[in-house]
Amino acid sequence: MKDAVKVMQKFDDIKKFVQGVMSEKRFAHTMGVAEEASRLAGIWDVNPEKAYLAGLIHDVAKELPYSDAKRIIESSGLLDDGDAFPDSVALHGFMAAHIAKTKLNITDEDVLNAARYHTTGRVGMSVLEKIIYVADFTEQGRPYPQAKEVREISERDLDAAVLREADHVIKFIIDSGRVLCTTTVEVRNSFLNNSKRG
Ligand SMILES: [Fe+2]
Ligand SMILES: [Fe+2]
């Protein structure tokens, strides 16, 4: 706990910036993700400061209007040639990485990628990317029972937690009649295949 407080103080300016661009509710979620990510980092041998920082920035662009984010991404050449343009759900992760780099001077690529891919995940995620993907779903403020289930799994098997979360997300998106992002399906299949191999 003492360490978590120290880490929080270290990132005080970033925290203030983040707090200034989002609602109180989203800021509470953000802090929940930062804390859960730093807890998981302790279990999975990742630098807890990096995990805390990635949690702190992951939703920094969530309340930026889609049209603004789209314009910024298009004009700044953020996507590699051949990259599909991210859909509205995935876009705020890309935008978060951009803001973190240009406004908050965060240069650590793993931290930036953890924010960039936090909504859909991606095949070949780093441990930190998995931690942010999971913590976004399981932070203490999440009210649904699936969060508790995935949180428990994440303490003993991080890959199994990613897989279970992807299952829940896919089911939820289908049940709510929304368009399913193909990356989420690819992530789910890749983790499922790996779990069968292992
Ligand atoms: Fe998000
Ligand atoms: Fe989030």
| Number of separate domains in the chain | 1
Task: Tell me how far the alpha carbon of residue 45 lies from the centroid of ligand 1, in angstroms.
Answer: 24
Please list, residue by residue across 87-120, b when 16 or more beta carbons sit within 10 angstroms of its beta carbon and e when fewer do.
eeebbbbbbbbbbbbeebebebeebbbbbbbbbb
Q: What is d(CA 161, CA 174) in angstroms, rounded to the nearest whole number?
A: 20
Q: What's the distance, Cα to Cα, between the start and end of the chain in Å?
A: 35
Residue 120 maps to a domain? yes
Task: Tell me how far the alpha carbon of residue 33 lies from the centroid of ligand 2, in angstroms.
Answer: 7
CA atoms within 13 A on the CB side of 43: 17
Q: What is d(CA 37, CA 139) in angstroms, rounded to the nearest whole number?
A: 8
Residue 32 maps to a domain? yes
Task: Tell me how far the alpha carbon of residue 73 lies from the centroid of ligand 1, in angstroms.
Answer: 17
CA 13 to chain centre: 20
Q: Could you give phi then psi for residue 155, rounded to 5 degrees? A: -80, -20
Per-block mean pLDDT, blocks of 10 residues, the chain (198 long)? 61 94 97 98 97 97 83 71 64 91 94 95 97 98 96 98 97 91 93 87
Residue 196 maps to a domain? no
Residue 185 maps to a domain? no
Task: Tell me how far the alpha carbon of residue 145 lies from the centroid of ligand 2, in angstroms.
Answer: 17
Residue entry with tokens 């302790």: 42
CATH of the domain at 16: 1.10.3210.10
Residue 177 maps to a domain? no
Task: Tell me how far the alpha carbon of residue 56 lies from the centroid of ligand 2, in angstroms.
Answer: 9
CB 160 within 8 A of CB 188: no
Task: Tell me how far the alpha carbon of residue 29 lies from the centroid of ligand 2, in angstroms.
Answer: 7
Ligand nearest to the CA of 33: 2
Task: Tell me how far the alpha carbon of residue 3 lies from the centroid of ligand 2, in angstroms.
Answer: 23
Ligand nearest to the CA of 121: 1
Q: What is the pLDDT of residues 71-99, one digit of tens each?
A: 777 777 666 655 566 666 778 998 999 99
Residue 194 maps to a domain? no
pTM of the model: 0.90
Q: What is d(CA 34, CA 158) in angstroms, rounded to the nearest whole number?
A: 17
Task: Tell me how far the alpha carbon of residue 59 lies from the centroid of ligand 1, in angstroms.
Answer: 5
Residue 169 maps to a domain? no
The secondary structure of residue 84, as a DSSP letter, is P
Structural domain boundaries, residue 138: 2-143
